Amino acid sequence: MSRTDPTIVTVLRHGAVEGRAHIFRGVLNDPLSVQGATQMQRALARCHVADFDAVATSPLKRCHEFAATYATQHHLPLRVLPQFGELAFGDWEGLTPAEVAARNPEEYQTFSATHGVHAPPNGESLAQLRARISLGWHEWLASDDGTNRLLITHAGVMRALLMELFGFTPAQAFQIALPEAACLRISWLHGQPPFLLYIN
């Protein structure tokens, strides 16, 4: 890979998953649904991306299963990178916001008001999420995986990338809709600031 060529990264959120809807699904390992896989296929077609050189993915099933199938179908190398896993919600995993608000009203109010700066009980803070994602991003970008890459991950990771790479505040990042199979495209040239080429 030439250092004079920008690396283009398409960041794709997983689609709909099996299991309860509208819950804190961080480290829960629910699989992608058939509908979710279709959503992701349509999103990639809508993005009109040329052939990728490589695929990276969160290790969680809702990302990894699609990534592995896509990489096999297109004969692409696949990296499974734990740094791109979703925020860990600790004691709130699998619960709805209403259930959490009833169980831990003060903690939930603080978590919501700060956009995750204050971690859930036994969970991960926004600062911890950002630190591991920043490390994973820079390590992956330094690897020789080509100049056109696909990363399959989670909404929390996408928001953290907007904060880390483009200076979004937590409040700004959480005002951006990132629905199932949402997509970002980022251009990264060594030694230069990144560019956000596309969102959703």
Check if the beta carbon of residue 155 is closer than 8 Å to that of residue 70.
no
* Whether residue 156 has pLDDT greater than 70: yes
- pLDDT bin (cut points 50, 70, 90) of residue 140 is very high
Mean pLDDT of the chain: 95
Which tokens belong to 140?
Answer: 């992956």
pLDDT in tens, 46-95: 876 768 999 999 999 999 999 999 999 999 999 999 999 999 999 999 99
Please report, rounded to a whole number, the percentage of residues in the chain having pLDDT higher than 70.
98
C-beta separation of 36 from 15 below 8 A: yes
Q: % helix / strand / coil in the chain, to the nearest 5?
A: 40, 15, 40
pLDDT at residue 191, rounded to an integer: 86
Residues 166-199 have pLDDT tens digits of: 999 999 999 999 999 999 999 999 889 999 999 9
Tell me the residue ranges of DSSP E strands in the chain. Answer: 7-13, 54-57, 78-80, 148-153, 183-188, 195-199
Going along the chain from its start, the domains and CATH numbers come out as: 7-90+124-199 (3.40.50.1240)
Give the whole-number percent of the chain exceeding pLDDT 90: 92
Give me the pLDDT at residue 103, please: 97
- The secondary structure element, H or E, covering residue 173 is helix 170-173
Assign 1 a pLDDT band (cuts: 50, 70, 90).
very low
Q: What would the two tokens of residue 93 be?
A: 């995993």
What Rg do the C-alpha atoms of the chain give, in angstroms? 17
CB atoms within 10 A of CB 2: 7
Token couple for 197: 């080429």
Average pLDDT over residues 24-45: 96
Chain centroid to CA 150: how far? Answer: 11
